[in-house]
Structure 1
Amino acid sequence: MTSSPARRIVAAAGQATLGAFLTFAGVSHLTVAREEFQAQVPSWFPLDTDFVVLASGAVEIGLGVALLSVWKQPARGIVGATAAAFFVAVFPGNIAQYVEHKDGFGLDTDTKRAVRLAFQPALVAWALGATGAIRTLRGLRHRRSVTR
Structure 2
Amino acid sequence: MGAVRTAARLALGGALVFAGVSHLTFARKDFRAQVPDTVVELAPLDEDGVVLASGVVEIALGSAIALAPRGIRPLVGKVAAAFFAAVFPGNISQWINHRDAFGLDTDERRFGRLFFQPVLIAWALWATRPRRP
Please give the TM-score of this superposition, normalised by the length of structure 1.
0.83
Q: Quote the residue 1:85 is aligned against.
A: 82
Aligned positions of 1:126-137 closer than 5 A:
126-132=123-129
Alignment partner of 1:104 is 2:101? yes
Supply the distance in 1 between the matched residues of 2:77 and 2:37 (Cα, whole angstroms). 29
Aligned twin of 1:63? 61
2:33 corresponds in structure 1 to 39
Partner of 2:24: 30
CA RMSD of superposed structures (Å) = 1.5
Q: In the TM superposition, what is the alpha-carbon distance from 1:68 to its structure 2 partner?
A: 1.4
Shift of 1:128: 0.3
Letter of the 2:8 counterpart? G
Provide, for residues 12-63 of structure 1, a one-character-per-residue CA deviation record: whole Å limited to 9, x for no partner.
Answer: 1110000000000000000000000000001222231001100000000000
Number of the residue aligned with 2:115: 118
1:13 to 7, 13, 16: 7
Which stretches of structure 1, 4 residues or longer, exceed 2 Å deviation after superposition?
none
**What's the % identity of the aligned pairs?**
57
3-state DSSP of counterpart to 2:38: coil
Quote the residue 1:53 is aligned against: 51
Distance 2:69 2:2 in 1: 11
- The number of residues matched between the two structures is 128
Q: Which amino acid aligns with 1:44?
A: T
Distance 1:71 1:108 in 2: 41
Structure 2 alignment gaps of length 5 or more: none
Structure 1 gaps, min length 5: 1-6, 136-148
| DSSP 3-state at the match of 1:44 | helix
